[in-house]
């Protein structure tokens, strides 16, 4: 079961006076998700691009992009480009008949939109045009056969949009305050744009009564379990968003770390023991979804994109400052199926797995240490961003970019070293106890076997 939680905050509700996108990317167990940079290029006539499953014509010019990419997939779960466009996606399940051909993955559509679009409306045009031509619902799992449709949250310098798709039909709505979405359709009778046949198909199939107004979510929501399960997180997101009139990275990261604390459905024995899927998702059994990466991003008129990336679950990680400066640290971009000593993602993932051996014993101490690291990162970022702004305004863009990159690189190394040290410490404690134990023992053993991890 796939799941994600994504939020838009418009400039009217942003402490920065700029639009913000925030997302937890939830993917199947054992699926690393590094953050990667790809430089824009110019292509000759007749060039093609091979996406995850199909090859399509390439455009003449692409923009540079940064994206959080499941290791075996061409596209992104979330990302941004050099023009200040930011996009995140959600898995959906509609009532439309399945496609017979593979189509394009929603993650590939997302990356294609970032590479080919400068604005949110351009991104909507790119996605819907490709959707109409190729369809979607290709296999999106490295473990098994799983397909889905997609919702996209799209943010540029000036506008915030939700684009929801069902088969090759779609609806789009502009957001002028704030909105959270999960794995359930949210655009009802309030769509600002619709595909040409969206209402006609729903009426012909009698998915709405003849007398009621057209409601995209009501008409197209599938009967599969993903849709009703997404509603609880959809409501939780928007409840937490509504508790503040203005948001920033700190308040949104708090929401992305939520486990239904204070609610009747709060987990009994730690985050891995939840009855319901939470915003910050932890694997309960091998093969289930878990949060694999988290991203917050906004646009700055001088610097460009200012973002924060946390590998794995944000509650057991720290947000690292990242920017659009033409490169990212190698450790941040490195992660494949098997465990790698040189991968930031895998070091943080192994730490999170060891914490869940005995969450009640280990988690509070690790989270407090990570909170202190994140405060350091935020202080470093604030100073660097202020200095970079001054450099750019004085015509020293390359020097500013090097400064911003140095902060990303330094924070990556700090989090990497912290994870390695804590892995060694917790491993020693677990060995003294005779090896793996606890509620997650079997799931962790399967994870270790799959990823070639030797504790």
The three-state (H, E, C) secondary structure of the chain, written as one string: CCEEEEEEECHHHECCCCCEEEEEEEEECCCCCCEEEECCCECCCCCEEECCCCEEECCCECCCEEEECCCCCCCCCEEEECCCCEEEEEEECECCCCCCCCCCCHHHHHHHHHHHCCCHHHHHHHHHHHHHHHCCCCCCCCCCCCCCEEEEEEECCCCEEEEEEECCEEEEEECCCEEEECCCCCCCCCCCEECCCHHHHHHHCCCCCCCCCCCHHHHHECCCCHHHHHHHHHHHHHHHHHCCCCECHHHHHHHHCCCCCCCCCCCCCCHHHCCCCCCCCCCCCCCCEEEEEEEEEEEECCCEEEEEEEECCHHHCCCEEEECCCCCCHHHHCCCCCCCCCCHHHHHHHHHHHHHHCHHHHHHHHHHHHHHHHHHHHHHHHHHHHHHHHHHHCCCHHHHHHHHHHHHHHHHHHHHHHHHHHHHHHHHHHHHCCCCCCCCHHHHHHHHHHHCCCC
- Provide CATH 3.60.60.10 ranges for the chain: 3-336
Tell me which of 19-33, 93-107, 282-296, 404-418 is least confident. 93-107
Backbone phi, then psi, for 91, in 5-degree steps? -80, 135
Q: What is the pLDDT of residue 273?
A: 67
pLDDT band at 142 (very low <50, low <70, confident <90, very high): confident
% the chain with pLDDT above 70: 98
pTM value > 0.85: yes
Q: What was the pLDDT predicted at 137?
A: 79
Q: What pLDDT is recorded for position 285?
A: 85
The candidate with the shortest Cα–Cα distance to 232, out of 277, 268, 294, is 277
Note the pLDDT of residue 146: 81
What is the reported pLDDT for 225? Answer: 62
Each residue of 239-263: pLDDT tens digit? Answer: 999 999 999 999 999 999 999 998 8
Reply yes or no on whether the pLDDT at 27 is more than 80: yes
pLDDT-derived band at 453 (thresholds 50, 70, 90) equals very high
Rounded CA-CA distance 28/126 in Å is: 28
Q: Confidence band (pLDDT; 50, 70, 90) for 144? A: confident
- The CATH superfamily holding the domain 3-336 is Penicillin V Acylase; Chain A (3.60.60.10)
For residue 274, the model assigns a pLDDT of 65
- 99 has pLDDT over 90: no
pLDDT tens for each residue of 105-125: 999 999 999 999 999 999 999
Q: What pLDDT does 199 receive?
A: 97
- Give the range among 225-229, 322-326, 360-364, 415-419 with minimum mean pLDDT: 225-229
Q: Which two tokens stand for residue 20?
A: 């913000």
- Average pLDDT (275-292) is 87
Q: In the predicted model, what is the mean pLDDT of residues 207-217?
A: 96
Catalytic residues: 4
Q: Span 214-222, mean pLDDT?
A: 96
**What rounded mean pLDDT belongs to the chain?**
94
Percent of the chain topping pLDDT 90? 85
CA–CA distance, 201 with 36 (Å, rounded to integer): 39
* pLDDT of 322: 98
Asked if residue 1 has pLDDT above 60, the reply is: no
Query: What pLDDT, on a 0 to 100 scale, did the predictor assign at position 288?
Result: 85
Residue 276 is predicted with a pLDDT of 73
Mean pLDDT of 131-135: 95
Chain segment 358-374, per-residue pLDDT in tens:
998 999 999 999 999 99
Q: Give the tens place of pLDDT for each residue, 393-415.
A: 999 999 999 999 999 999 999 99
């Amino acid at each position: 079961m796939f799941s994600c939680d994504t939020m838009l905050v418009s400039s009217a509700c942003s402490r920065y006076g700029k639009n913000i996108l925030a997302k937890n990317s939830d993917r199947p167990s054992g699926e690393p998700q590094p953050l990667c940079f790809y430089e824009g290029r110019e292509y000759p006539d007749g060039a093609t691009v091979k996406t995850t499953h199909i090859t399509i014509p390439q455009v003449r010019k692409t923009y540079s992009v940064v994206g959080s990419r499941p290791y075996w997939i061409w596209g992104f779960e979330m990302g941004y480009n050099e023009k200040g466009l930011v996009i995140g996606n959600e898995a959906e399940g509609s009532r439309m008949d399945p496609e017979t051909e593979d189509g394009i993955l929603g993650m590939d559509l997302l990356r294609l939109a970032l590479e080919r679009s400068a604005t949110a409306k351009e991104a909507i045009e790119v996605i819907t045009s490709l959707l109409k031509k190729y369809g979607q619902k290709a296999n999106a799992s490295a473990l098994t056969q799983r397909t889905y449709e997609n919702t996209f949250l799209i943010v540029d310098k000036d506008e915030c949009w939700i684009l929801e798709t069902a088969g090759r039909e779609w609806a789009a709505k502009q957001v002028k305050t704030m909105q959270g979405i999960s794995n359930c359709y949210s655009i009802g009778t309030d769509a600002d744009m619709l595909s040409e046949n969206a209402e006609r198909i729903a009426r012909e199939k009698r998915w709405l009564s003849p007398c009621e107004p057209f409601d995209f979510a009501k008409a197209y929501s599938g009967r599969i379990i993903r849709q009703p399960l997404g509603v609880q997180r959809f409501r939780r997101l928007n409840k937490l968003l509504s508790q503040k009139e203005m948001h920033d990275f700190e308040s949104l990261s708090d929401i992305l770390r939520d486990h239904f604390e204070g609610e009747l459905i709060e987990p009994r024995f730690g985050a891995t023991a939840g009855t319901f899927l939470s915003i910050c998702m932890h694997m309960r059994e091998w093969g289930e979804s878990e949060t694999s990466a988290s991203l917050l991003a906004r646009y700055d008129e001088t610097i460009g994109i200012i973002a924060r990336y946390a590998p794995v679950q944000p509650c057991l990680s720290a947000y690292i400052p990242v920017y659009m400066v033409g490169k990212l640290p190698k450790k941040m971009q490195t992660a494949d199926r098997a465990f790698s000593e040189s991968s930031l993602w895998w070091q943080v993932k192994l730490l999170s797995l060891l914490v869940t051996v005995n969450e009640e014993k280990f988690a509070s101490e690790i989270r407090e240490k990570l909170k202190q690291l994140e405060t350091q990162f935020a202080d470093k970022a604030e100073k660097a961003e202020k200095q970079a702004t001054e450099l750019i305004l004085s015509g020293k863009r390359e020097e500013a970019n090097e400064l911003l990159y140095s902060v990303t690189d330094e924070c990556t190394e700090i989090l990497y070293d912290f994870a390695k040290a804590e892995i060694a410490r917790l491993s020693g404690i677990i060995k003294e106890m005779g090896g793996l134990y606890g509620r997650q023992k079997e799931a962790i053993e399967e994870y270790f076997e799959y990823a070639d991890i030797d504790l």
